[in-house]
Structure 1
Amino acid sequence: MSVQDVTAPPHAAVQAGHRPLVAALCIFGAVSLLGILIRPTLPIDETRYLAVAWEMRLGHDWLVPHLNGHAYSDKPPMLFWLINLVWLFTGPSGFAARLVAPVFGLVTIALTARLGARLHPQRPEYGGWAALILSGSLGFALYGGLTMFDTMLSAATAAGVLALTHVERRGLRPWLVLGAALAFGALAKGPVILIHLLPIAVAAAWWKGIGLRAMAQGLGAAICLALAIVGLWLVPALTVGSPEYREAILWTQSAGRMVQSFAHGRPVWFFLAVLPLLLWPWAWSPRIWRQARFTPPLVVWSVATLLIFSLISGKQAHYLIPVLPAFAIAFAPALAGSKRRAPIACLLPFGLALAMCALIVGLAPQEYITAANPHPVALLVVALLAAAAAVALIDGVTVFLAAPLVVCASACIFLGEMGESHDAAPLARRLAPHDTQGIGLIDGKYHGQFTFAGRLHHPVIVFGDAGSALDWLQECAGRVLTAPLKNGPGQPADTIDFRGQPWGIWLPQTQSDRGQPCRN
C-alpha cells in the first residue's frame, strides 16, 4: 500500500467508491430498461410468472398461487405479491410488472458495494468497483433484467453475508438481520437460500473468530426468526392448500429436486463450465485473477456454493447469479488498482458499431436478411469473441463490454422476426375473444403463455390428443382451439408463428351455440 493510500482522508476513499457505484447503478438500470423495451415478455418463464401474478389478482388468493386454475407450487409467492403491489398503483401493466425483478438487481449492486467496503475496511472504495464489476458481468447484465427470482435471491444473499460481517461474540442483532434475509430469500425462491447462506454462517466461527457456541446460538436465533416469518405464509397456505400442494411444497420442490431433478438435469461439471461466461469479461483477464483477493468469507461463499450446486441434480446457469457478488468483490482490487483505466468515452465507437449492426439486422427488410442469413446465435458468438479479444489486447483497461453486448444481442434477436415470433401477444389477442366460451390447447402442458398477454379470466383447457380436442371444439360455436400445427386436427382456419413454429387456430364448424356460453 502506498503512502498516499495510508494518508488519504477516509472521505476521499468513500468518494472514490461512490462514483463507480453510481456508474454501476446507471449501467445496470439502462441495460435492464432497454431490455424490457426491446424484448417481448419471453415464454415460457416470464409469461408464466406474469400469468401467476395475474391469476392471483383475479382470484384474490394471496396464499396459494395458481397457474391456469391449478395450485402453482414451483415457487413461493413473494414475486407475485410484489407484482400485485405494483399493480395497485399502475393497474395490470406488463411493463410495470417487469420492472420488479430489475429493482432487486439494483439493490444487489448497492449491497455489493456495502459488502465490498465492509470486507476491505482499509480500502472502502473497493466496494464501488465491486459494484461496477457486478453490473458489467455478462451473467448479471443478462439475467438481472429478466422477470425471474434470481435478483431477489441475490439481494437476500448479499444482505445475509453483510449481516454476518457484523457478528461478534455477543449480540443477536446481526443474526436477526440474517434471519430476515433467510426469510426473504425463502419467500422469494424457497429453501435454496440456505445453500447460499448456511455454509458461510457456519464458517463464521472460523473467519470471524467468534467460537462454535456463539455461532450456534446466533445461527439458531436466525433460523428461528426465518421460520417464524416464513410460517406466517406457509402455515395458512398448507392449511388451505390441497394435499398435492402440501406434498409439493414440503418435498417435491425442495428435497425432491436435490435428490433427483425432474427438470434441468446437468452433469456435475456444468457450473464450472458456465461460470467463466457469467463472469465475462472480467474472469477472462489473467491480471485480474493475479490481483484478486479472496478473503475467507468470499472463499466460503464461492467455493461452498459451487460445490453444493454441482452435487445437486437440477442445474441452470442463472442459479449462480447470487454468488457473482463474491467474485465481483474479489476482483475489485485489480480494477481499483489499475493505472491504465481508459475513459468510458473511448469505448463508445465500439458500442455504437455493435448497436448499428444490431439495428441493421433487426430492422432491415426481410429479403435482405434472408440473403445475408446472419443467424442470431452466430452474431452473438462473433460479438463475444471480438469482445474477448479486446479484453485480451487491452488487459488492465476498464471495459464495459457486457452491458452493450446484452443490449446489442437483444436488438439482433428481438427487433426482427424472432422478436415477433417470441411475443405471445399476437396469438393471445386472437384467442382472448373466446375466453368465455372456451379456449383449448393441444401442446402437452400449458405454461400460461397466453394468460396475461390475453388477460384471460378462465383456464385454458389442455388436451393430449387432437381427437378429443376436436370433439370438444365442435360442441360450441364460440370456442377456439390452438396448437402447434404439427399437433393439430387437420387444416386450421388461420396460422400464426409462435416460438419459431407455425401454430394453428381452429374454429368450430357448427353455427349454433344456442346463445349460451359453454366451457365444459
Structure 2
Amino acid sequence: MTLNNRSGAKTASFGVILILWVLIAVVGVSARPLLPVDETRYLSVAWEMWVHHNWLVPHLNGEPYAHKPPLLFWLINASWAVFGVNDFTARLIAPLFAGLNLIMVAVLAKRIWPDKTTIAHVAPMFLVGGTYYAGYGTLTYFDMLQCFFALLGWYGVFVARDGAAKKGWIIAGIAIGLGVLAKGPVILLYVLPAAVFAPLWHKSWSGLSVGGQKAARAGGGSKTASSSGPVTNNALGMDRGGNTFTGRGAYKRWYAGMGLSVLLGAVIALLWAVPAAVFGGDVYRNAIFWGQTAGRMVDSFAHVEPFYYYLVALPAMLLPWMFWGGLWRSVIGFGWRKDLDAGLRFCLLVAVFLLVAFSLISGKRVHYILPVLPLVSLIFARVIADLPTRRIDQVPLAVFVIILGVAGLAAPFLPGFFDKIPAWVGTLDGWWGAFLLAAGIALVLLQARRVATVGVIAGVNLLLVAMVFMIAAPRLQTDYNMRPMAVYLKSQQQAGHDVAYWGKYHAQFQFLGRLEKPIPVLLAADEVRDWVDAHPNGEIIARRDNPITGSKQPLARFDYKNDHLVIWDAGTVKSDPEGVLAR
C-alpha cells in the first residue's frame, strides 16, 4: 500500500521502509566487524553454548555467565543449526527484531486507534526514522528483543481492554515470560504500568467512582445504561464504546487478569530458571534470582549516571526529528485539551513513568529506555494524523544532513590541514558523504505535506545510517576487528601453547577464533609469576599503549583502538614482567 498526500505526491510505503531496513541491516552487519567488548562477548557466550551443548546455563570463557538470560543465545544457536556456525546470520537476530518492532508498532496503533488508519502507517516510519534506533538496531544486543516483548505486552493489555480478557492476558503473560528470558525481570517495568495505570489512561475509568457506581446502584448493581451501545460483560465491565462499567467488579476482574498474566510469565521464565539454578550452582543461582534483578535496580554496580541523564539522552535519540519544524508546529498546534484520547494518555503516561523510573535507578545506559521510542513514535503519529495537512519547511533538517555530508567528504583531508585533528580521521572513507549531501539538497527542494514527508525523512535517515557505516568501515576494520588475533590464538592453542590474558578479559576471541579452551585471566603480579612457572611454553596477551623499546619484542602485535594488543612468550615475561606487561 502506498501513502499519498492529498495533492497526489507519493511517499515510501510501509513495505518499502521495511525493505530499506533489511538493506540497512545487511549493510551494517557487513560493513563493520563484531564490536568489542559487548558484541564479541555475546557471540562468545552463544559459541560456548554451541560447543559444549549446554543449553541451560550460559558460559563465558568457561565460567557460568549470569549477566543475561539465554533467549538471544538460543536464537543464535537456532540460526547456526539451520545455516551453520557463522557470524552473519547470528548478527541478523537483533535487526530481525528491530524490523518486527516496526510491524508491532503498526499493529498496536491499529488496536489503539482503529478509526485512524494513518497512524498505523506513520508510527513505524517515525520509529525507524530515528537515527539512534536505526543505528542501534544493527548491533547484537538484547534491547530490540526486549522492545518487541514490551510492545507485545502492551498489545495484550489493549486486547484485554477491548473485551477479550482471556486472550489479552495470555498475550501479556507470554510477553512477560519471554521478556524475562530476553533480558530479565525488567520487562515488568515496561509492561505492568500499562495495566496498573489503566484507570488513569482509559477515558472511562476516571469517572468510575462517581458515575459508574451510581449507575450500577440505580440499575441493580449489575448493569448500567450507556449512550454508546449495549452493555457487554468484558474485562473492564465496559461496553464497546468503553463508557460503562458494572461497578467495582470491573477493577477486580481487571487486576485479577493482570495478576494471572504475571503468573503465566513467571511460569514461562521459571521453566528455564529453576533447572538452570540447579545445574548452575549456588553462585549462579543467587546471581539470576537476585544479583541481576533487585541488586541491579537498587544499587547498580556499573554505568552510574546523574538523575537527569535520560532527559539529555532522549532528545538526542529523537534525531533527526528534533530538526523537523513541521513536527513541532504540529505538536504545538494539536488540540491537547479536547483530543487527548485514551491512546495518547496511555503513551504519555507509560513513557513518563519509564523515564522517571529509570532515572531513579543508579545504573543508566541509553538503550535502557529504548522501548520509550515506540511510544514517542505513536504520539508523533497521532498528532500528525489528526491535523490538516499543509506545506512545511524542511530547511533545518536538510541543513543537518548537508553538514554531515560535507563533514564526511572533508574528513580524509582534515588531518593534513589541522594539527589537532587525530590522524585516524584521515582513514575514513569520506566519499560516501556525497550521498548525504545529495539527500540534504533533495530535502531542501522537497515540497510535501506532513504525513507524506514522514516517509521521505525515514528513508533519508536510513540512507544516513548506511552512509555513516560505510564512511566509518575502514577505521572500524582497522581498530576493532578482533578476528586476525583470534585466528592467531587458535593456531597457538592447536600447536600446544597455553595462552593467558593479563588484565580484564571479555572473551573477545572465543567465538571469532572458534576457541574451545578458555583463556586464563591474570589480574595480579603473583598470578603471572605462578602461571609462567607452570607454563614455560605459554604465551600472555597484554594491552600496550606505549612504544616497545629495547631488545625484547613480542611474538605478535595487533591494532586495537588507539594502541595494541601484544603477545609475549612466557620466558620473556618471566625475565621482566613489569617491563613487558606495562601499559
TM-score bracket relative to the smaller structure: 0.7 to 0.9
> What's 2:492 paired with?
434
Letter paired with 1:461: P
Per the alignment, in what secondary structure is the counterpart of residue 566 of structure 2?
strand
Q: Contact 2:201/2:349 (CA < 8 Å) preserved in 1?
A: no
Q: Contact 2:502/2:523 (CA < 8 Å) preserved in 1?
A: yes
Letter paired with 2:187: I
Q: Distance in 1 between matches of 2:100 and 2:525?
A: 48
Unmatched runs of 5 consecutive residues or more in structure 1: 1-11, 511-520
Per the alignment, in what secondary structure is the counterpart of residue 567 of structure 2?
strand
> What's 2:232 paired with?
none
Q: Contact 2:497/2:537 (CA < 8 Å) preserved in 1?
A: yes
Q: Contact 2:169/2:258 (CA < 8 Å) preserved in 1?
A: yes
Q: Could you tell me how far 1:491 is from its partner in structure 2?
A: 3.9
Selected match of 1:309 from 347, 352, 358: 358
> What's 1:21 paired with?
14
> What's 1:456 paired with?
515
> What's 1:3 paired with?
none
Q: Distance in 2 between matches of 1:89 and 1:368?
A: 52
Letter paired with 1:324: L
> What's 2:565 paired with?
503
Which structure 2 residues correspond to residues 276-315 of structure 1 after superposition, within 5 A?
276-285=315-324, 286-290=328-332, 295-315=344-364
Q: Distance in 2 between matches of 1:388 and 1:374?
A: 28
Per the alignment, in what secondary structure is the counterpart of residue 484 of structure 1?
strand
Residue 263, structure 1, aligned to residue 302, structure 2: yes
Q: Could you tell me how far 1:467 is from its partner in structure 2?
A: 6.1
Residue 180, structure 1, aligned to residue 174, structure 2: yes
Of 326-335 and 268-277, more deviation after overlay is shown by 326-335
Residue 126, structure 1, aligned to residue 119, structure 2: yes
Selected match of 2:284 from 245, 270, 275: 245
Q: Distance in 1 between matches of 2:560 and 2:137?
A: 25
Q: Deviations over 1:86-144 (max 9, x none)?
A: 00011110011000111011111000011112222221121110011101112211211
Q: Distance in 2 between matches of 1:119 and 1:426?
A: 51
Check 1:353–1:204 CA distance in 2 against 1; reply closer, same or farther (3 A cut).
closer
Q: Distance in 1 between matches of 2:444 and 2:181?
A: 42
> What's 2:463 paired with?
404
Per the alignment, in what secondary structure is the counterpart of residue 181 of structure 1?
helix
Residue 158, structure 1, aligned to residue 220, structure 2: no
> What's 2:139 paired with?
146
Q: Deviations over 1:305-351 (max 9, x none)?
A: 111111111110011111211110110144445444799xx98x997
Q: Could you tell me how far 1:17 is from its partner in structure 2?
A: 12
Q: Could you tell me how far 1:284 is from its partner in structure 2?
A: 4.1
Check 1:31–1:90 CA distance in 2 against 1; reply closer, same or farther (3 A cut).
same
Q: Could you tell me how far 1:407 is from its partner in structure 2?
A: 2.2
Q: Distance in 1 between matches of 2:524 and 2:314?
A: 41
Check 1:305–1:391 CA distance in 2 against 1; reply closer, same or farther (3 A cut).
farther
Letter paired with 1:505: I
> What's 2:223 paired with?
none
Residue 423, structure 1, aligned to residue 416, structure 2: no
Check 1:256–1:368 CA distance in 2 against 1; reply closer, same or farther (3 A cut).
same
Q: Distance in 1 between matches of 2:524 and 2:442?
A: 53
> What's 2:184 paired with?
190
Of 483-492 and 312-321, more deviation after overlay is shown by 483-492
Check 1:96–1:62 CA distance in 2 against 1; reply closer, same or farther (3 A cut).
same
Unmatched runs of 5 consecutive residues or more in structure 2: 206-235, 237-249, 335-339, 573-583
Q: Deviations over 1:149-190 (max 9, x none)?
A: 011001101111111111146732101110000111110000
> What's 1:63 paired with?
56
> What's 1:515 paired with?
none
Letter paired with 1:232: L
Check 1:305–1:95 CA distance in 2 against 1; reply closer, same or farther (3 A cut).
same
Letter paired with 2:54: D
Q: Distance in 1 between matches of 2:445 and 2:294?
A: 46
Q: Could you tell me how far 1:481 is from its partner in structure 2?
A: 1.5
Of 365-374 and 279-288, more deviation after overlay is shown by 365-374
Check 1:34–1:252 CA distance in 2 against 1; reply closer, same or farther (3 A cut).
same
Q: Could you tell me how far 1:295 is from its partner in structure 2?
A: 1.0
Check 1:350–1:260 CA distance in 2 against 1; reply closer, same or farther (3 A cut).
closer
Q: Distance in 1 between matches of 2:13 and 2:380?
A: 14
Q: Contact 1:31/1:406 (CA < 8 Å) preserved in 2?
A: yes
Q: Distance in 2 between matches of 1:257 and 1:34?
A: 35
Selected match of 2:543 from 476, 481, 484: 484
Residue 216, structure 1, aligned to residue 255, structure 2: yes
> What's 2:208 paired with?
none
Check 1:433–1:217 CA distance in 2 against 1; reply closer, same or farther (3 A cut).
same
Alignment TM-score, normalising by the size of structure 1: 0.84
Q: What is the root-mean-square deviation in Å for CA atoms of aligned residues?
A: 3.8
Q: Distance in 2 between matches of 1:485 and 1:107?
A: 42
Per the alignment, in what secondary structure is the counterpart of residue 469 of structure 1?
helix
> If you compute each CA radius of gyration, which structure gives the higher value, 1 or 2?
2
Which structure 2 residues correspond to residues 76-155 of structure 1 after superposition, within 5 A?
76-155=69-148
Q: Contact 1:48/1:447 (CA < 8 Å) preserved in 2?
A: yes
Q: Contact 1:28/1:403 (CA < 8 Å) preserved in 2?
A: yes
Q: Contact 2:303/2:365 (CA < 8 Å) preserved in 1?
A: yes
Per the alignment, in what secondary structure is the counterpart of residue 165 of structure 1?
helix
> What's 2:371 paired with?
322
Letter paired with 1:179: G
Number of aligned positions between the proteins: 487
Check 1:38–1:329 CA distance in 2 against 1; reply closer, same or farther (3 A cut).
same
Q: Could you tell me how far 1:367 is from its partner in structure 2?
A: 8.0
Letter paired with 2:502: I
